Amino acid sequence: MLIKKIGAVSTALVVLAGASVPSYAAEQVNPASYATKAEAKLKNNALKSEVESPIKLVNGSFEEPQIATSELITDASNIPGWNTTAADNMIEIQRLYDGKSAADGEQWAELNANMVGALYQDIDTTPGSKIRWKVSHRGRYGIDTAEVRFGKPGEDLELMATMATDKDAWKEYQGTYTIPEGQTTTRFEFKSIASADGNLGAGNLLDNIVFSSPSNLVVTDAYDKASIPKGKQAKYNVNIANNGGMQAGDINLEIPLPATLKYVPSSVTINGTTTSDVTYNDATHTLSVHLNQIADGTTTTVGIGVEGLTETNAAHISTSIEYHDLGFTDTTYTANSTGANIAVTSNTAPVITADDVTVKKGTSFNPMAGVTASDAEDGNLTSSISVTANDVDTSVEGTYHVTYSVTDSDGNTTTKTITVTVSSNNAPVITAADKTLKKGASFDPMAGVTASDTEDGNVTGNVTVTANDVDTSAVGTYHVTYSVTDSDGNTTTKTITVTVTSNDVPVITASDKTLKKGASFDPMAGVSASDTEDGNLTNSVSVTANDVDTSAVGTYHVTYSVTDSDGNTTTKTITVTVTSNDPPVIVASDQTIKKGKAFDVMAGVSASDLEDGDVTGGITVTANDVDTNTVGTYHVTYSVTDSDGNTTTKTITVTITSNDAPTFTTSDVYLKVGDTFNPYTGITASDTEDGDLTDRIDIESSDVDMTQAGTYAVEYSVTDSDNNTTKITRHVYVRTNDKPVIHASDQTFKAGASFDPLAGMSASDTEDGDITANVTITANDVDANQAGTYHVTYSVTDSDDNTTTKTIIITVLTNEKPVITATDITQKAHRSVDPMVGVTASDLEDGDLTANIKIIANDINIDVPGEYHVTYSVLDSDGNETEKTITVTILSNDAPVIHGQDVTFKAGKAFDPMAGVTASDTEDGDITSTIEITANDVNPDVAGVYHVTYSVTDSDGNTTEATYTVTVLTNEKPVIHATDQTLAYGQAFDSMAGVTAEDLEDGDLTGSIKIIANDVNPLQAGIYHVTYSVTDADGNETQITITVIVGAQPVNPVIPADPIIPADPETPMHVTPAPVQVADPIISSISDPVQELPKTGDTENTAQVITVGGLLAMLGALFLRRKK
């Protein structure tokens, strides 16, 4: 915060700039403007005796005066409403200072500007009034503390609250205060108690201050019309005036509607704007409207659309309101309107009376003759009828129309159209038709004959037969001639033809039919009938018998009948055969196959159909995943379709089981002479399929003799359910006290296999039996991961201390996986592909394994271009499997494709016709390098539309051409529109107001304008400049600088307390100060002594006073400083 020592008023700065100051002797002032505060107070009290005004402080959010800088330290007289007890009488206003924002609006105050003091307002109050107060408080550098005090000026003020708030956010403090008896002026004061940095002259930010009497809403209401017809609408307006001292908030209107009116949905407006904060209760016909707030001293109008339902003289509506003081919820207020009435009248449309008219050709026609109109409310409306359409032409016979329209006072419009017939004087007309008769039938020549005349009407009685040669006994064609004359002597004749025909029976055409069971049957389909005399009689055919049942196979009949106009009847019966339509049946059973066995997918599979018989040959296998080399469960799906299109599918399960021989689990037996030997002890047998086969073990031979030491053998056999037989020989060692025996054999295994030197090794002793657990390894140099020859030495000692050692040889072999050699294949479509060509396999141990390669996947389709895959597999003798997949690319023979696009660039730019243009071919790949430009008329320096044509040919001779459009644009600089401005002192300045930019290519660039220089200070008179810059999409930059002139600060003259009225007053002379450039933007007050201004009538030289004031201003400017 800057603290400035002020030396002189800004009036002196005006003098230094050479401006004139009005003469005090010449100033003519309204004496009322000199009223003292006491006089104003007396006047206000007098007014209150009539109507008590709301109590309210001024400028509670410090929004006046508006400042353009971040702070303003100025004399209290420049801050409306506010005073300070500080000796320098300075108040500080801030805006966007230290990165803070206001609690309300844009500005706030710091409690002390340069020195410790209190910030206050003295407000005229009415004793006994309840006052609402609140304030937003915030620390500056940390937690600042201030007190809120109320009371009578000059006396001790009552402490209302102590505010202690940190710097991070505003905090609101509030309360109520009742004006004590006799206190007509109340001081509302803030006093600094502590600040975070210890400097009471800084900190304690204040904003959004309220010291007001409560809100007071007064409700009036009225309709916008006195009456409405039923079905028409009116507006019911509720005017809510806030005559209190503060804003009202959370305002809820309740508006019950009478049964004679209904609410028009979505019709509620607030001050003319539609609102959605509305609820309508259909059950109670009550409308609820919510308003957020109404500012004091303002009126809000809520408009509601209503529609008349039933007639009434007075549809009454009134409004009740509940509300709070904004920011306070301790008290709920209510207000009610007196209500308003509207009449609902009937709304019957008018009636037009008009009849159709017939006039003779050539006569006159008056469209209004005999036409009237009336209305239930308006009475006779005949004079209001208008003819909206009239095409009557009495010179031409015909039918015409006249349309009438009339509208009543409710806006109901009725129209009516009549027909006007203009008749001519034509000859009469005879109506008689040709006739056909059966031979031998009677004939009346006048039957069905009539005559009419436009004027005479029916003249049938005047018709005469002038000729008649009809003979009904003979087939043939005859004629009858008629004649008639009207009253005007016009004669008409007409001749008809009479045909006498024979009388044959009709013929029915229908054939036998065969249908599938379940098909629909139309007995009339394909059936027709004809008659010599009557012609086509198909529509007269009837079904007299029909036993067809398409749901059951069989032979049925349909009988048809038809009768001609002579009564001749014909019948016909057809046969309808219904055959079955059952779907075919597939016979296939689940199968179980041993691993490695052949599998015939069609073995034992057949199909038959009720109509088609054996359709086994039509069976297709639609799915088959059986792999007889792998144990598992698989499925085969069959499908067959009969001649009727009925399709049957069936899926069977194929189980591949293993086929291993059974195995024994046993070990040699070590016994002493005389022991008992059970050959079935210690031996078991099992099979992959059959499970435990121990109970099936057979002893093939045994030479064991337990009475003599020796080595004996027992031969066992076992057979599984697949007749796989396994035999094994088990040794029985019958010993005396011989040395123990170590049983261990040389071993050979692949490198990388795990090696357990104790696996398969055992030790036995004639006396001790199995002493394997006593074996120790005395030497072992085996490296199982490295091929080579190694040794393991074992040692064991029996209970008789006989020790045996044994060394075995361990051979470690390599164990590499086999390798498949196969490369990707690229082939043109429709050419054969042999997936095994060039494919080999080898193994480090087994050598060439090419013959063992299997293709386990192959999806190649040589007729469809695309990418396919073939997967190979090979297995070496160690069971190591290798798979390899190659890609088979089937190429099409498509033409190459040129890739490019239309180009747009600014004139003068370089243009490379090949930039961004490529070509590719399905077979040849990237062939961009072979592109040729066959046409190019581009001129990059001249704006216009051009074309470039490219051509490329692939290795198959396919040629493609492509033409792209090249648009060359102009490249003008953008234009900025901005004008010089002149501002009054302190007037807000928006540097972007009225400033725009545009570009020929880019259009509106206003949003891209940048201000690159701006020294405008609205609070300091002078000449300033603002420089704008804008750059278009082509990088063209335009700059423009405008001049902004800020006028001088107005000077308020000091009015003498006791002015002397001159004996000979001069004529007033008014001089307007010229705008000047002022050195400092801070509004300052006089802190140094100033010479008293002359009073009216003094003869002292005014220039001398001005010069002295100017010198004081210069001296004061030398002592300006900033508050820290």
Domains identified in the chain, total number? 10
Question: Taking the alpha carbons of 1005, 1008, 1013, 1018 in that order, is the dihedral positive or negative?
Answer: positive
Across the range 165-171, mean pLDDT stands at 95
Pair 59, 167 in one domain: yes
Q: From the CB of residue 310, how many other CB atoms can be counted at a distance below 10 Å?
A: 12
Give 157's pLDDT tier (boundaries 50, 70, 90). Answer: very high
Q: What pLDDT is attached to residue 35?
A: 35
Is 692's pLDDT higher than 60?
yes
Which one has a higher pLDDT value, 467 or 1069?
A: 467
Is 1079's pLDDT higher than 60?
no
C-alpha–C-alpha distance, residues 1027 and 633, integer Å: 87
Pair 753, 878 in one domain: no
Pair 494, 513 in one domain: no
Q: What pLDDT is attached to residue 1044?
A: 93
Pair 87, 151 in one domain: yes
Question: Taking the alpha carbons of 384, 389, 393, 396 in that order, is the dihedral positive or negative?
Answer: negative
Q: What pLDDT is attached to residue 1058?
A: 60
pTM of the complete model: 0.35
Report the percentage of the chain scoring pLDDT > 70. Answer: 89
723, part of any domain: no
Across the range 922-943, mean pLDDT stands at 91
Is 1052's pLDDT higher than 80?
no
User: If DSSP states are collapsed to H, E and C, what string results for 245-299?
Assistant: CCCEEEEEEEEECCCCEEECCCCCEECCEECCCEEEECCCCEEEEEEEEECCCCE
Hey, is 863 helix, strand or coil?
Answer: coil
389, part of any domain: yes
CATH of the domain at 321: 2.60.40.740
CA distances from 263 to 220, 289, 830, 1076 (A): 20, 13, 80, 64
599, part of any domain: yes
Q: What pLDDT is attached to residue 1102?
A: 40
Which one has a higher pLDDT value, 72 or 1061?
A: 72
Pair 60, 202 in one domain: yes
Is 72's pLDDT higher than 60?
yes
Q: What pLDDT is attached to residue 1075?
A: 44
Is 765's pLDDT higher than 90?
no
CA 511 to chain centre: 65
Pair 1013, 944 in one domain: no
Pair 384, 412 in one domain: yes
The answer to whether 691 touches 678, Cβ cutoff 8 Å, is no
Pairing of strands 491-501, 435-438: parallel
CATH of the domain at 800: 2.60.40.10
Number of H helices and number of E strands within the chain?
3, 88
Pair 267, 381 in one domain: no
Of 423, 446, 479, which residue constitutes the final position of a domain? 423
Is 1100's pLDDT higher than 90?
no
Range of the domain at 928: 897-969
Across the range 640-656, mean pLDDT stands at 92
Pair 61, 187 in one domain: yes
Which one has a higher pLDDT value, 34 or 799?
A: 799
Residues 6+ apart with CB under 8 A from 727: 700, 715, 716, 717
Of 969, 997, 1032, which residue constitutes the final position of a domain? 969
Residues 6+ apart with CB under 8 A from 157: 149, 150, 151, 187, 189
Which one has a higher pLDDT value, 1057 or 811?
A: 811
Pair 760, 851 in one domain: no
Q: What is the mean pLDDT of the chain?
A: 85
Is 827's pLDDT higher than 60?
yes
Q: What pLDDT is attached to residue 571?
A: 95
Burial string for 1054-1078 (b: 16+ CB within 10 Å, else e) reads: eebeebeeeeeeeeeeeeebebbeb
718, part of any domain: no
Structure tokens at 297: 């001293």
pLDDT digits (tens, 9 = 90+) for 264-311: 999 999 987 777 789 999 999 999 999 999 999 999 999 999 999 998
Is 486's pLDDT higher than 70?
yes
Give 531's pLDDT tier (boundaries 50, 70, 90). Answer: confident
Give 1059's pLDDT tier (boundaries 50, 70, 90). Answer: low
Is 661's pLDDT higher than 90?
no
Structure tokens at 434: 């040709």
Give 1101's pLDDT tier (boundaries 50, 70, 90). Answer: very low
Give 31's pLDDT tier (boundaries 50, 70, 90). Answer: very low
Q: What pLDDT is attached to residue 675?
A: 82
Q: From the CB of residue 364, how many other CB atoms can be counted at a distance below 10 Å?
A: 6
Pair 800, 884 in one domain: no
Hey, is 470 helix, strand or coil?
Answer: coil
Is 707's pLDDT higher than 50?
yes
Across the range 1039-1044, mean pLDDT stands at 94
pLDDT digits (tens, 9 = 90+) for 118-150: 999 999 999 999 999 999 999 999 999 999 999
Across the range 550-577, mean pLDDT stands at 92
> Using the 8-state DSSP alphabet, how is residue 625 labeled?
-
DSSP characters for 117-162? -EEEEEEE--TT-EEEEEEEEE-SSS-EEEEEEEE-TTSPPEEEEE
Is 657's pLDDT higher than 70?
yes
Pair 905, 938 in one domain: yes
pLDDT digits (tens, 9 = 90+) for 367-389: 999 999 998 778 899 999 999 99
CA distances from 801 to 734, 765, 774, 798 (A): 20, 11, 12, 5
Across the range 730-734, mean pLDDT stands at 90
Is 1078's pLDDT higher than 50?
no
Of the given ranges (260-264, 457-461, 1060-1064, 1081-1085), which has the lowest mean pLDDT?
1081-1085
pLDDT digits (tens, 9 = 90+) for 387-426: 999 999 998 889 999 999 999 888 889 999 999 998 776 7
Of 593, 628, 657, which residue constitutes the final position of a domain? 657
Burial string for 13-29 (b: 16+ CB within 10 Å, else e) reads: bbbbbebebbbbbeeee
Q: At 356, which amino acid appears?
A: D
Residues 6+ apart with CB under 8 A from 397: 361, 422, 423, 424
Is 479's pLDDT higher than 50?
yes
1033, part of any domain: yes
Which one has a higher pLDDT value, 511 or 439?
A: 511
C-alpha–C-alpha distance, residues 208 and 134, integer Å: 8
Is 721's pLDDT higher than 60?
yes
C-alpha–C-alpha distance, residues 928 and 644, integer Å: 58
Which one has a higher pLDDT value, 661 or 318?
A: 318
pLDDT digits (tens, 9 = 90+) for 788-811: 999 999 999 988 788 999 999 999
Hey, is 1105 helix, strand or coil?
Answer: helix
Q: What pLDDT is attached to residue 236?
A: 96
